[in-house]
């Protein structure tokens, strides 16, 4: 069965998962040290993740191992919309999750897609299903050769005009250095 990769009724652009952090985040900006993210839960906690050390994945770009080819997460989420009753991920066993995935992603690789992966996808679905973007038209895909969707969402930081205090010389500092050099 082929996946319906032409579905465009869900906008996941800017929604990311951060390795080591529970839940999902919306990319809202960038500063010198990293990306500014806002949690998608009720608390709307803002965090900065370091560009060089954090591992982020845009939901738009995530794929699941398939038998013949990788399956797009967005296609699986679209199929989960049609499921009447999702299992509780805290109580569901592996066979319940596997049966659900055989329904929504029949071509997934049974040996490579673990119960923990299925729980994560269902948890993500439960987080984003109430958001307006879940039923929003997805933006056009990035042009071939364009960089990842995550950095392209962020505008360049705008400089902030601030009055800088004038630098003052520390008392005796230059004298000490000169005297040390001349010895």
Report the pLDDT value the prediction gives residue 154, as an integer from 0 to 100: 42
Beta strands 56-58 and 25-30: pairing type?
A: unpaired
164 within some domain? no
95 within some domain? yes
- A 10 A CB-CB count for 91 gives 7
How does pLDDT run across 49-75, given as a tens digit for each residue? 988 888 999 999 999 999 999 999 999
3 within some domain? no
Report which of residues 161 and 16 the model is more confident about: 16
| Torsion angle of the four alpha carbons 36, 158, 133, 122, in this order, in degrees rounded to the nearest 10 | -20
118 within some domain? yes
Residue 3 has pLDDT above 80, yes or no: no
Q: Which domain holds residue 104?
A: 15-138
Report the pLDDT averaged over residues 135-157: 49
DSSP E strands in the chain: the ranges are: 15-18, 25-30, 34-39, 46-50, 56-58, 63-64, 71-72
Report the pLDDT value the prediction gives residue 123, as an integer from 0 to 100: 94
How does pLDDT run across 17-48, given as a tens digit for each residue? 998 888 899 999 998 889 999 999 888 889 89
How does pLDDT run across 77-120, given as a tens digit for each residue? 999 999 988 999 999 999 999 999 999 999 999 999 999 999 99
Residue 15 burial by Cβ neighbours in a 10 Å radius (0-12, 13-18, 19+): buried
CA–CA dist 28, 145 (Å, integer): 24
183 within some domain? no
42 within some domain? yes
125 within some domain? yes
CA–CA dist 89, 94 (Å, integer): 10
Number of domains in the chain: 1
131 within some domain? yes
CA–CA dist 115, 93 (Å, integer): 8
Measured CA to CA in angstroms, residue 153 lies from 31, 46, 150, 183 at distances of 13, 17, 6, 57
pTM as predicted: 0.68
pLDDT confidence bin for 125, thresholds 50/70/90 = very high
Report the pLDDT averaged over residues 1-10: 46
Q: Name every residue whose Cβ is closer than 8 Å to that of residue 159 and which is 6 or more positions away in sequence.
A: none
CATH of the domain at 122: 1.10.10.1650
Instruction: Output phi, psi for 21, to 5 deg.
Output: -120, 130
């Amino acid at each position: 069965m082929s996946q319906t990769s032409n579905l465009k009724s869900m906008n996941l652009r800017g929604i990311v998962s951060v390795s080591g952090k529970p839940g999902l985040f919306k990319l809202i900006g960038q500063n010198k040290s990293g990306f500014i993210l806002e949690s998608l839960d009720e608390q709307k906690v803002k965090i900065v993740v370091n560009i060089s050390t954090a591992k982020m994945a845009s939901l738009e770009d995530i794929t699941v191992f398939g038998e013949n080819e990788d399956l797009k997460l967005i296609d699986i989420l679209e199929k989960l919309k049609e499921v009447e009753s999702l299992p509780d991920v805290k109580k569901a066993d592996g066979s319940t999750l596997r049966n659900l995935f055989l329904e929504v992603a029949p071509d997934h690789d049974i040996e490579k897609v673990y119960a923990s992966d299925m729980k994560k996808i269902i948890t993500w679905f439960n987080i984003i299903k109430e958001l307006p973007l879940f039923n929003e038209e997805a933006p056009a895909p990035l042009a071939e050769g364009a960089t990842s969707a995550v950095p392209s969402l962020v505008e360049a930081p705008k400089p902030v005009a601030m009055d800088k205090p004038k630098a003052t010389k520390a008392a005796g500092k230059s004298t000490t250095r000169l005297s040390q050099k001349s010895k």
